Amino acid sequence: MISAIVWGTGNVGRLALRAVDAHPALTLTGVIVHDQGKAGRDAGDLAGLGRELGVAATTDIDAVLAARPQAVVYAASGDIRPDDALADILRAVRAGAVVVTPALYALYDQRNAPAEMREAVLDAIAEGGGSLFVSGVDPGWGNDVLPLMISGLGGVIDVVRCQEIFDYSTYDQPDSVRYLVGMGQPMDYEPPMLAATVPTMVWGGQVRLMARALGVELDEVRETLDRRPLDETITTASMGDFEKGTQGAVRFEVQGIVEGEPRIVVEHVTRIHPSCAPDWPMPPDGDGAHRVIIEGNPRIEVTVEATDEHGNRAAGGNATAVGRLVSAIDWLVDAEPGLYDALDVPLRPAAGRLGGTRA
């Protein structure tokens, strides 16, 4: 069994605890938390499993890493603390662990990451013998391995488009929804996630990764942005009212330009209510979906709907992204120490998990 720890127990970490518990090759040996209020609580409680796992959460990072875990699922946020997240991850790699994480956007396409970040990771690998694999929670597989796999079914490929389409009215993350994305804010409010260059910072690596796999050179990476106001005040079950005239929908694209044309596109369409921007792409049903469209001959369209936590599809998307990371651990443990990306790490079958039990 591979000893694994989960570092961080928020939205991603809670799902990571469940995924590690379900994986037949992994055994949970530690949980690191920042909140003193969570210290001492059982991992099963933090994961919402309804049963204990016999592992208590701790704030003592030194003690957990001193036990030399073979793997670390780093689930703490890197959105507003990228330097701290990188320092934590380097610490785990130096301790000899395989680390999987969604926290470092720049390393989605590790070969084209900023030189200082890449060199710091490679130095830590050389020093401690660990490994690092970064993939997104948007979900990463929807912007790399899935579209690339589907592209191989085509003949003439004109455009590869990856879409995330979500209604956030059931998404219980008010700070992110209202302030990071800007739902319910005046139309002159500038949401941090939509500021110029930020979408490229987050999703540009995935566009470059797909370009590398498809063997094309990008002229540049461009962004487009469209925002729509609500026509009427709406009320959500989890986040209250969103007033008429405030931002109700956002659509943006991160485009990989090849010979002057957008050929590789990551697109996000986000609403706070289905009535806003009804002419934009919609999910087949429910509150969200991920879709890959290969424009060409033939035209290929695949839609993935994942549901978790009381029918919430945003949580379902996160769960599949975490599953991709956790399922990579045993492959990474067997591989040579190194810095890996989605083109290196194969998509793994759920061996030993059919029927909902560990084999």
**Domain spans of the chain, in order of start:** 2-134+316-340, 145-305
Bridge partners (DSSP) listed for residue 229: 247
Q: How many CB atoms sit inside 10 A of residue 92's CB?
A: 27
pLDDT computed for residue 138 by the predictor: 83
With H, G, I as helix, E, B as strand and everything else as coil, classify residue 139.
coil
326, with CB counted inside 10 A (0-12, 13-18, 19+), is: buried
CATH topology of domain 2-134+316-340: Rossmann fold (3.40.50)
Q: Could you give the C-alpha distances from 2 to 42, 145, 177, 334, 359, in angstroms and in order?
A: 20, 25, 37, 11, 15
Q: How many CB atoms sit inside 10 A of residue 299's CB?
A: 11
Could you list the pLDDT tens digit for every one of the 359 residues in the chain? 999 999 999 989 999 999 999 999 999 999 999 999 999 999 999 999 999 999 999 999 999 999 999 999 999 988 778 999 999 999 999 999 999 999 999 999 999 999 999 999 999 999 999 999 999 988 889 999 999 999 999 999 999 999 999 988 877 778 889 999 999 999 999 999 999 999 999 999 999 999 999 999 999 999 999 999 999 999 998 899 999 999 999 999 999 999 999 999 999 999 999 999 999 999 887 778 999 999 999 999 999 988 876 556 566 778 899 999 999 999 999 999 999 999 999 988 888 888 766 65
With H, G, I as helix, E, B as strand and everything else as coil, classify residue 134.
strand
The C-alpha atoms of residue 241 and residue 13 are separated, in whole angstroms, by 29
pLDDT computed for residue 269 by the predictor: 97
